[in-house]
Amino acid sequence: MSIALASRKNRALLLLWLGETWLLILSVMVAAWLRFLDTSQGLFTFFQWAPVRAFVFAAFITVSMVAFGLYQVHVRHSRMEFFIRLLLSFAFGGIALLVLYYLAPAAYIGRGVLAMALAIGLVAVTALRLIVERVFKTDVFRRRVLVFGAGKNADLINTRLRRGCDRRSFVVVGFVPVPGQAVQVPEQLLLSTDFALSEIAEWLHVYEIVVAPDERRGALPMEEMLTCAQRGVTVTDLSTFFEREAGMVKLNVADPSWLAFSGGFDHSMPRRLNKRFFDLAAACALLLVAWPFMLLVAACITLESRGPVLYRQTRIGENGRTFELIKFRSMRVDAESDGVARWATQNDDRTTRVGRIIRLSRLDELPQLFNILLGEMSFVGPRPERPQFVEMLSQEVRYYNVRHCVKPGLTGWAQLRYPYGASVRDAEEKLTFDLFYVKNHGLVFDLLILLQTVEVVLFRRGSR
Can you give the pTM of this predicted structure? 0.81
> What sign has the CA pseudo-torsion 193, 199, 204, 208?
positive
The sign one gets for the Cα dihedral 326, 278, 64, 35 is positive
* Cα Dmax for the chain: 81
User: For 48, phi and psi rounded to 5 degrees?
Assistant: -65, -35
Q: Rounded to an integer, what distance in angstroms lies between the CA atom of residue 33 and that of residue 35?
A: 6
Phi/psi-derived region of residue 462, left when phi > 0, alpha when psi is between -120 and 50, beta in every other case: left
**Cβ atoms of residues 96 and 60 within 8 Å:** yes
d(CA 173, CA 201): 10
Nearest Cα neighbor of 46 from 109, 97, 107 is 109
Indicate the residue type of 446. D
Q: Return the SS3 of 331.
A: strand
Q: Identify the structural domains of the chain with CATH numbers, from first to last.
A: 2-136 (no CATH), 139-250 (3.40.50.20), 269-333+344-458 (no CATH)
The count of C-alpha atoms lying within 13 angstroms of the C-alpha of 307, restricted to the half-sphere facing its C-beta, is: 16
Residue 153 parent element (H or E): helix 152-160
Residues with Cβ within 8 Å of residue 261, at least 6 apart in sequence: none
Closest CA to 313 of 261, 238, 386: 386
Is the Cα torsion angle 431, 435, 436, 437 positive or negative in sign? positive
Distances (CA, A) of 16 to 56, 71, 267, 328: 18, 9, 31, 41
Question: What is the per-residue pLDDT for 2?
Answer: 47
- Residue pLDDT, tens place only, 416-459: 888 766 678 888 999 999 999 999 999 988 988 988 888 777 76
Identify the pLDDT of residue 441: 92
Alpha-carbon separation of residue 92 from 88, 114, 362 (angstroms): 6, 13, 19
Q: Is there a contact between 416 and 451 (Cβ–Cβ < 8 Å)?
A: no
State the sign of the Cα–Cα–Cα–Cα dihedral 70, 161, 390, 441.
negative
Task: Please say whether the dihedral angle defined by the alpha carbons of residues 272, 69, 10 and 59, taken in this order, is positive or negative.
Answer: negative
Can you give the pLDDT at residue 262? 81
- Angle 315-316-318 (CA atoms, 0-180°, nearest 5)? 135
User: Tens digit of pLDDT for each residue in 247-267?
Assistant: 899 988 888 888 888 888 888
Length of the chain: 464
Q: What is the CA radius of gyration of the chain?
A: 26
In degrees, rounded to 5, the angle at the alpha carbon of residue 343 between the alpha carbons of residues 342 and 348 is: 95
β-strands 208-211, 170-176 pairing: unpaired
Q: What letters, b where the CB count within 10 A reaches 16 and e where it falls short, cover 163-200? A: eeeebbbbebbbbbbbeebebbbeeebeeeeeeebbeb
Per-residue confidence (pLDDT) for residue 15, from 0 to 100: 86
Distance between CA 383 and CA 385 in Å, rounded? 7
Q: Cα separation of 433 and 414, whole Å? A: 5
Nearest to 446 by CA among 230, 272, 226, 231: 272
d(Cα 39, Cα 47) in Å, to the nearest integer?
13
208-211 and 143-148 as β-strands: parallel, antiparallel, unpaired?
parallel
Closest CA to 427 of 251, 196, 296: 251
> pLDDT in tens for each of the 464 residues of the chain?
444 445 556 677 788 899 999 999 999 988 888 877 666 555 555 566 678 889 999 999 999 998 888 887 666 666 787 888 899 999 999 999 999 998 888 888 888 889 999 999 999 999 999 888 877 766 667 889 999 999 999 999 999 888 777 777 889 999 999 988 999 999 999 997 788 999 999 999 999 999 999 998 888 999 999 999 999 999 999 999 999 888 899 988 888 888 888 888 888 999 999 999 999 999 999 999 999 999 999 999 999 888 899 999 999 999 999 999 999 998 887 666 555 666 666 666 678 888 888 888 889 999 999 999 999 999 999 999 999 999 999 999 999 999 999 999 999 999 888 876 667 888 899 999 999 999 999 998 898 898 888 877 776 665 54
Which residues does residue 409 pair with via DSSP β-bridges, in sequence order?
Answer: 378
Which pLDDT value is given to residue 281? 94
